[in-house]
Amino acid sequence: MRRALIGIVASTRVLTAAAVHADQVAVRFTEGVTRGFPVLRAASGEILAHGDLVQVAHADRVENRLTFRFRDGSIYDEAVTYDQRGVFTLLSYRVVQRGPSFPETLEASFERETGEYRVRYRADEQSAEEVLTGRFEIPVDAYNGLLCTVLKNLEAGKSHTVHIVAFTPKPRAIKMLLTPMAQEPVTMGPALVPATRFHIKPQLGMLASLLVVALPDVKTWIATGEAPAFLRFEGPLYFMGPVWRIDWN
């Protein structure tokens, strides 16, 4: 059951989480034009891929694209369009993963306005390619490719539940529990940056009993203060994948 899920030091103080909220996330910090060059590393620290993040804000939408080019020739390419007027609303999503670093080849996309999805999927080199199309009811709080943005806007100390559309290879809505775990500073060059460590855990229900191993929590560090920012990510880049780390070069 290896499918894309699109989809981290000592603790100083554990946050007290209030009741879990489940709804669209209100915009507290608007997104603007951004360019960044994240690095993807193995758990050992070895550099696996160099990334390019481009975000452009328009009056009615924000377009965000993250591309990782691996040393072994693999590609991970994720494009997101969303609305940030009042609440964050995912408008469209596309992800491509291919190459030796990925056990499966996948190109998948969906549009909220039409509800249409398209998936091109190949389990391995010996398998025939599958092409699936159709309509899917996208949850209002679906945040593929936006979890780090959402984390920056959550009310301090409170857990929140949102959805991710996973491709199995057909689309499936998976609940994701976002929980602040600790205030944990992150070293950025010579500076020690105050941050909150969040855990992102899929709520698989009956599906969890089918897994042969427990899924690790995805960990994300968000800088605190008047200008929250993404600092680091640790977890699988795809469902049942190895734990990788993303941080800034």
The residue type of 48 is: L
Phi/psi for 150 (5° steps) reads: -60, -45
C-alpha of 5 from chain center? 8
The residue type of 180 is: P
Q: pLDDT of 112-157, one tens digit each?
A: 999 999 999 998 888 899 999 999 999 999 999 999 999 999 988 8
Q: pLDDT of 36-63, one tens digit each?
A: 999 999 999 999 999 999 999 999 999 9
CA angle 63, 87, 19 (to 5 degrees): 125
Q: Where are the domains of the chain?
A: 13-248
Q: pLDDT of 57-88, one tens digit each?
A: 999 999 999 999 999 999 999 999 999 999 99
**What's the predicted TM-score (pTM) here?**
0.86
E-strand ranges in 58-203 read 62-70, 75-83, 89-98, 105-111, 116-122, 130-135, 158-167, 171-183, 186-188, 191-193, 195-203
- The pLDDT of residue 21 is 56
- Count other Cβ atoms within 10 Å, centred on residue 130: 12
Q: Is the distance from CB of 220 to CB of 232 less than 8 angstroms?
A: yes
